[in-house]
Amino acid sequence: MNNFVFSKKIARLIILQRIELLSLFQKKLRKLFGRYAFVNFFLYFLINKKKIQEKYFSLMQKEYKLLKNEIQYSNKKFLSIGGGVGGFELIVNKSTNNNFFYFIEKNYVSKKIIYGWDNKNLEAYNDLLLVKISC
C-alpha cells in the first residue's frame, strides 16, 4: 500500500477531523473567516484531494509506526473508538490477516464547534455512509 485513494467528500471529512493537514493559506482563511464559513463554503472549493491523500497516508503511517509494537496481533479483533475515516485501521488491516474491526463512531457533521463538556452539544465530523463506501 503506497497511498490512500478516496473521494473529495472523504478528503473534506479528513480535513475536518485532522486540521493539521490544512495548508498555511487554508489555516489563514479559516482564522480570517471563522470555522463556520470555512467548513460550509471554502472547504468545498479549496481541497487538493491528492495532497490530502498523501498527507493523510503519511500521518497514518507515522501513527502506525509509533503504535505497532503495542498491538497484539495474535488477537484478531480490534475495537476502534473515534477512528474517523479509518486510515489507521486500514494500515493495521494490511499488516495482519483475518481481522475483525468494530467501530464506535458518531455519524454526523457538526455545523459549529462547541468547546467544553456539555453533553447536549457534542460535535463530530464523520459520515459513516461515506466511510463505508470508500472502504
Percent of residues, the chain, with pLDDT higher than 70:
78
Tell me how far CA of residue 28 lies from CA of 25, 34, 45, 77, 101, in angstroms.
5, 10, 15, 42, 37
pLDDT tens, position by position, 89-134: 888 888 887 678 887 777 766 666 555 555 555 566 666 666 665 5
Q: Is 68 domain-assigned?
A: yes
Give the domain extent around 82. Answer: 8-134
Residue 2 lies in a domain: no
> Structurally, how many domains does the chain consist of?
1
Q: Is this structure's pTM higher than 0.85?
A: no
Q: Judge whether 37 lies within some domain.
A: yes
